[in-house]
Each structure stands twice: as structure tokens, then as C-alpha cells.
Chain A
Amino acid sequence: MIETFDLGRRFGDFVAVDRVSLRVPAGSVLALLGPNGAGKTTTVRMLAGLLAPTEGTATVAGFDARRDPAAIRARVGLVTDVPGLYERMTTGAYLDFFGAMYGMPAPARVRRVEELIGFFELADHRTERMAGFSKGMKQKVALARALLHSPDVLFLDEPTSALDPIAARAVRELIVSLKHARRAIILCTHDLDEAERLADQVAIIRGGRLIACDTPAGLRAAGSSAVMVRVELAEPHPAALVLLDTVAGVLDPWVVPYDVAQPKVLEYRTADPRAVNPRVVARLSADGAAIVSITCQTRTLEDVYVDQLNTREHPPISLKAAVAR
């Protein structure tokens, strides 16, 4: 549904997007992560038919981004980083205007506007000018606008920002149902938890380059071979840290909170927890330490994200690698 190959965009000498290759099949969500100015918005604008690529190719809903941007725009729903409403209009009039812009016949427009106003709980504000709306309400109207024409492809930039937890949850459920209805969705977000929950693939972009793209689990697994292990003791055991340091395979042991004299909770990293953890348990038990629990901590997407952004050089990911995923 969305496929790019070495997609690039220059503004004069400035390279905003550099050789980005992505593949988002119908019925899947790709979370596009990256710091501000990384090239996410430019990438989305190219894919939404708003900006022509200067390098590479992009196909969206079966149409070429260079040759048929109008056909792409007719099939794409876009939520920008700001709601971008005509605030002097009422909600109903605003949605009706955009329905008309997408070529929806009047009866279908009226029905769809009613449906979306109901879904986003805006019925009480239908005849109010949007200037007085809260950020969350404006965000709901922007989402309704993007969904008006039932687009095949959705680009959602921070769709749940400014929403209260209940509304945010409803929007996340909507994204999942859209995915199940075979929409291809690109979600730009800084909410890594949301990305992890919703995305089938996570792409990290920095300096215009795609520096990582995989499933959330794949990224977590590939980022580092070492896992974090936490050991909790029933009572402080003064020799625990020294003992841990002598076990083969234990990396960087430390005490939490840092109190070397009275260690009760300890952490270490290891590349092979299956082999190392039993040795740790045996060594501590042999010295009389009472172990309450030993847990392997899963690496979060946030850890991966921070690691990726802290790495200095990244070669761009090729399409071959993207397709292989």
C-alpha cells in the first residue's frame, strides 16, 4: 500500500530526507520515530502528495508520488502536527466543507459527518465556532477530517497528543480497527509506548536517514545482546556485589539504590541469562544470601530509540533489507 525506494528530498543544498526505503502493507501500522527536524514531516508530505520527491520513488495506494499526487491525495487522510482548523467555522460546517473538497456527495457527507461527530463526542459542540475549543477537541475535529472520505492510507502525526486518556484510548482502538480494515497507516509519534502498542513496524529516522526499521520486538532484540537482570534479596548482604563480580558472564554489576555496604537489590547485564542466572543464584545462596526474586528486564523501545539516536554513524537501510523484513 505504501512503498518507497531510496526516497529523498532536497531543499537547495539541504538534504531533508535521504534514501528512505519503507514498505507498509495494507492492514499494518508503521510508527515513524525521530527527534524534531529528523525528516518525518517531509517524508509524510511526500507520501501524502504534498511535496514531490527529488530522489527515489514512492508508491502510495498504487499511485506514483511524482506522477499522480492528486490521485494519492484523494485516497489519503492526513492529520498534521497541529490541528490546523478554520477556527471561525463551526464543527459541522468545517467537516462538510472538507467532505465536499474530497468529492463526497451531499447525502453521504451529511451521514459521515454525523457519524464522526458522534464518535468523537462532539455533538454538543456541532454549532459552536471552533475558536473556543480545547486542544483535545481540536485534535478530534482534525482526526474526523482525516477520516471523512474513508481513506485507504492514513498519515497521523501525534494523533493522541492533547487528548484525555479516555479519548486517546478510543483513538488507539480506532487505529487498530482501521488496521484490521486493511488501511495502511503511518503514525508519527513521540509516544514510544503508543508506538510499541500499535505498530507492526517501527522506523527510526535521524538527519533524514532511516537508521532502523523492524518490528518492535525485532528492534528490541537486535539493539543489544545483553539483558538487564535484577536480583532482590530478603536482607542486605554486604558481600553480594563482590560475589556477583566473580561470576563469569556477569557484566557491570551494581546496587540499587547505590549502597555498597548494605546491598539488597542488585542489577547486572548479561548476554546469556540462561547460563549466568543459575550461577548467580548458586553463588549468592552458597554465601547465605536469601533471594526473593530474580527477573530479566525486557529492553523497552525507549532504550532502543535512545541507543539508536546516540550512535553516531548509521548507513541508510536498503530496500532489500526493508523488503526482507
Chain B
Amino acid sequence: MIDVEPVDETVAAPVLPSALLTTWRIARRAAVESLHDRATYTMSLIFAVVLPLGVVIGVLRPESLAANTAARAASLATLMGVYVLIVGLGPSSGAMNIAAGVFAGEKEKGNLAPLLATPASNLSIFAGKVLGSVIPAWLYILLAEAIYLVALATILGPDRLRLLSVSLWFSMAALVPPITVLGAAVSSFISSRVRTYNAAQMATGLALTPVMGLLIGVGFALRDQGSGLRLACVAGLVALDLLILRLAAGTWRREEVMAHQ
């Protein structure tokens, strides 16, 4: 028989762990779970490996072979910079998929209620779920960008890689993480308010497809702008993320999740 202590009614309230630590534990658990999910890692690996190789072989190599003038070389350099964004956004879609399942999917499986029954705050649970969706995607984005750079260097050659402006590469790469967070936050928010994973995925797709299209358009438009404006866009996107996260976490209630059963 296990130790069953009598209830001591003079005992003070349990000391709860800090909100940050709780958030991190929830995020780490969700991230590890996603990294072990076969469907998620298969899809993410395809995006992280096939997309950069496809872009380099199918799009940039013909451009590189034809870039025999200074103007064509400059155009190739810009194109290589813009594809830093596209290559990063492929695996970032994994974050939205994971986020679509964090509430609705777990609710369907019945493993959400035990977490909601703990004293962890609404903010910790929501932020932990978003962070847990984003971490695996960031890892796959890093992998995709690394494969992209290695493919540029090996397939097009180091001379072509040297054409890529560091400033353009950095600003395009810097756009990817905040776009991923934006997608994951919106997706998690939708997921917490619908009954099923499929409904969450569908609603997320409807809500985010135009937003992602717009952001890719902005990325393309930024290729010819100065680095100041590009960095301002990144900063603006980070600010938008913080605002959305704050609004979503502030209005999210575990009550809502339990009510939509």
C-alpha cells in the first residue's frame, strides 16, 4: 500500500513553480512529442530536404547557367536571397500543423484534460503550447537553410554563393521565425476553440493562407529595398507576433476548451 498521509488542514497552499518554468516544461514536452511524431517529421523532413534541393536544382541552377552577364548575375543573387525566405517557410508550415493539434487534437485523444486540471496558469499552457509547436519547426527551418546554403555552394559553386548578399540573406532568414510564430499562435488559438483537429486545420488554412501569401509578397517586394526597411519589417513582424500572442494568451481560457467538447 502506498503512503497515504492524513489531510493536514493547517498546511499552506502548495508552492507552484514559476510561470516561466511551467511554460518551458509544457513547451519541451510538446516539442519532444512532435519530434517523435512520424507524420510531422516525415512532412517536415520533406520540406527541409526536398524543397531547398528542388529550388537549387530546378530554379536556381538554370538561372546560374544563364547568368553570363553582370545584370543576370545580380538578378541571380537577388533570387537566391528571396529563396532563403521560401525555403524557410516550407518547414515552418509544420508549426501550424502541430499547433492545430495542440488543443483540438489532444482533446480528441482525451489527453488534454489532465494538463488543464493542473494548477498551471492559462498563460503558461497557451504559451507553452505555442512554443512547443514552434521549436520543432525552427529546428527543421535551420536544417532547410543549412541544406540550401550547402546546395548553393556545391551545385552552383562557391563563386555563385558569394554573390548572395549577407544583408539580404539575413533579413530574409530573420523573417522566417516570426512568421512561424505568427502561424503557430493563430493556429493554436483556433485549435483551442474548435472541437476537432480537422476543423482546426481547415480553419487555420483558411485564416493563414492569405496572410502567408501577403507575407511572401512582402518578402519579394523587400528584395529591392534597403537593409533598414527590411530590418524594420522584421521588427514590425516581431511586434505583431508579441501583440497577437498577448491577445491570444490573454483571451484564452481553459474554460473555453472544456466547453467546446
* Residues of A participating in the B interface, judged by any CB pair closer than 8 Å: 11, 26, 45, 48-52, 70-71, 73-76, 78, 80-89, 97-98, 100-103, 115-116, 118-119, 142, 145, 147, 149-150, 152, 173-174, 177-178, 180-183
- If the complex has contacts A26-B7, A74-B119, are A45 and B258 also in contact, measured as CB distance less than 8 A? yes
Residue pair B16, A74 in contact (C-beta under 8 Å): yes
Residue pair B117, A177 in contact (C-beta under 8 Å): no
Residues of B within 8 A of A88 (CB): 32-33, 36-37
| Contact for B258 among A50, A100, A182, CB less than 8 A | A50
| Contact for B111 among A85, A103, A182, CB less than 8 A | A85
Residue of A nearest to B7 (CB): A182
- If the complex has contacts A97-B29, A101-B120, A102-B14, are A84 and B4 also in contact, measured as CB distance less than 8 A? no
| Contact for A86 among B29, B120, B254, CB less than 8 A | B29
| 9 more CB-based (< 8 A) A-B contacts, given A181-B5, A183-B7 | A11-B259, A70-B121, A74-B13, A80-B113, A98-B118, A102-B118, A103-B14, A174-B4, A180-B4
Q: Which B1-49 residues have C-beta < 8 A from chain A?
A: 1-7, 13-17, 22, 25-26, 29, 32-33, 36-37
Q: Which B90-137 residues have C-beta < 8 A from chain A?
A: 109-121
| Contact for A101 among B22, B32, B112, CB less than 8 A | B22
- How far, in whole Å, are A70 and B253 apart by their CA atoms in the complex? 12
- How far, in whole Å, are A70 and B22 apart by their CA atoms in the complex? 14
Residue pair A177, B119 in contact (C-beta under 8 Å): no
- How far, in whole Å, are A116 and B6 apart by their CA atoms in the complex? 17
Residue of A nearest to B113 (CB): A80
Q: Which B244-261 residues have C-beta < 8 A from chain A?
A: 254-255, 258-259
Residue pair A100, B17 in contact (C-beta under 8 Å): yes
* Residues of B participating in the A interface, judged by any CB pair closer than 8 Å: 1-7, 13-17, 22, 25-26, 29, 32-33, 36-37, 109-121, 254-255, 258-259
> How many whole Å from A154's CB to the nearest CB in chain B?
11
B interface secondary structure, majority: loop
Residues of B within 8 A of A73 (CB): 117-119
Residues of A within 8 A of B120 (CB): 101
Residue of A nearest to B112 (CB): A84
- How far, in whole Å, are A149 and B7 apart by their CA atoms in the complex? 12
Residue of B nearest to A51 (CB): B258
Residue pair B117, A49 in contact (C-beta under 8 Å): yes
Residue pair A50, B117 in contact (C-beta under 8 Å): yes
| Contact for B2 among A49, A103, A147, CB less than 8 A | A147
Residue pair B109, A97 in contact (C-beta under 8 Å): no
Residue pair B13, A71 in contact (C-beta under 8 Å): yes
- How far, in whole Å, are A194 and B114 apart by their CA atoms in the complex? 24
The 6 A-B residue pairs with the shortest CB-CB distance, nearest first, are: A82-B110, A74-B119, A101-B118, A84-B111, A119-B2, A84-B110
| Contact for B7 among A45, A76, A116, A181, CB less than 8 A | A181
- If the complex has contacts A50-B116, A101-B22, A103-B119, are A149 and B1 also in contact, measured as CB distance less than 8 A? no
> How many whole Å from B111's CB to the nearest CB in chain A?
4
> How many whole Å from B216's CB to the nearest CB in chain A?
34
Residues of A within 8 A of B25 (CB): 97, 100-101
Residue of B nearest to A150 (CB): B5
Residue of A nearest to B21 (CB): A100
- If the complex has contacts A70-B119, A78-B113, are A115 and B2 also in contact, measured as CB distance less than 8 A? yes
Instruction: Offer 16 A-B interface pairs, CB within 8 angstroms, sorted by A.
Output: A45-B258, A70-B119, A84-B110, A87-B111, A88-B32, A88-B33, A97-B25, A98-B114, A101-B25, A101-B118, A119-B1, A147-B2, A150-B5, A177-B1, A177-B4, A182-B7
> How many whole Å from A181's CB to the nearest CB in chain B?
4
Residues of B within 8 A of A51 (CB): 255, 258-259
Residues of A within 8 A of B258 (CB): 45, 50-51
Residue pair B111, A76 in contact (C-beta under 8 Å): no
- Residue among B22, B109, B254, B258 facing the most chain A CB atoms (10 A cut-off): B258
- How far, in whole Å, are A187 and B61 apart by their CA atoms in the complex? 68
